[in-house]
Amino acid sequence: MIPSPLLVVTDRHGAGRPLTETVSAVLEGGARWIWFRDKDLEPEARRALATALLRLVRKVGGRLTIGGDVGLAAEIGADGVHLSGSVFAGSVIASEAKLSSEPQRLADAAGLLRFARNDGAGPQATKQPGTGVADIVVQARQRLNPGALVGLSAHSLADIRTAVEAGADYVTLSPIFATASKPGYGPSLGLAALREAAGLGLPVIALGGIGAEQARLCREAGAAGVAVMGGVMRADDPIAETRLLIAVTSSPSS
């Protein structure tokens, strides 16, 4: 069960205002699930911003997911972690486990890299124990609070099938539509792929090029929810935009 059919993805570069101000606005608009995605920060700055966002989210009974950093999510007591699609390729890049000077964070990073590394360098490459997606999901759960969510970024039906077997709580599937936030990200998958994905046994959150009308179509296609970044982060009135998105995602038939 996902916390909400609307997952708001952060981008502090999206508007000329502090990210905390934008997140406060979307929470006022009714959002209750935030994915802190901004990775282009030094560890201390990212920790401070994540902690500030967690305080805001907790005030309204919402949930905060940390993008790509199990150690940070565990350290601040966040409500989950969202790992990138690199896990499906058998490797987790350094940003998935943000290296820092603290021994525990270094251990977390080394552990994730060890469990995920599989370079596939020809027939001589031997897969080591604990290199599968399921191992990464299990290790993340061991570090996080009970009940925390582990989500994965999927870009194909094969990714979703792997996520189901790995025991992930949900996946984002992208890009469903062409997106201004990530131009050149790849061909859009479309609603037909989303319909098929929704039948694979795991909550699928549609991502990529999502506005109010696209959100409605995605829910009708069977998506458990939608993830929105640019449409909210760049909105002149994020409160109003959030309210609109909540209205159209409140039920699959909306």
- pLDDT tens, the chain, 254 aa long: 899 999 999 999 987 899 999 999 999 999 999 999 999 999 999 999 999 999 999 999 999 999 999 999 999 999 999 998 888 875 443 334 332 334 444 434 433 333 233 222 223 333 444 558 999 999 999 999 889 999 999 999 999 999 999 999 999 999 999 887 666 566 899 999 999 999 999 999 999 999 999 999 999 999 999 999 999 999 999 999 999 999 999 876 54
**CA gap 242, 6 in Å, rounded:** 9
Q: What are phi and psi of 7, to 5 degrees?
A: -110, 115
Q: How far apart are CA 122 and CA 30, in angstroms?
A: 50
HSE-CB of 104 using CA atoms within 13 angstroms: 8
- What distance lies between CA 64 and its chain's CA centroid? 10
Q: Give the ranges where 60-102 is alpha helix by DSSP (H).
A: 70-76
pLDDT per residue as tens digits for the range 71-95: 999 999 999 999 988 888 754 433 3
Between CA 177 and CA 230 the distance in angstroms is 13
Q: Which domains does the chain have, with CATH numbers?
A: 6-249 (3.20.20.70)
Label residues 151-185 b or e (16+ Cβ within 10 Å = b): bbbbbeeebbebbeebebbbbbbbbbbebebeeee
Q: Would you mind telling me the total number of residues written for the chain in this entry?
A: 254
Q: What is the pTM of this model?
A: 0.83
* pLDDT digit string, tens, across residues 2-19: 999 999 999 999 878 999
Cα–Cα distance measured from residue 198 to residue 203, given in angstroms and rounded to the nearest whole number: 7
Q: Considering only CA atoms, which of 62, 46, 116 is closest in space to residue 86?
A: 116
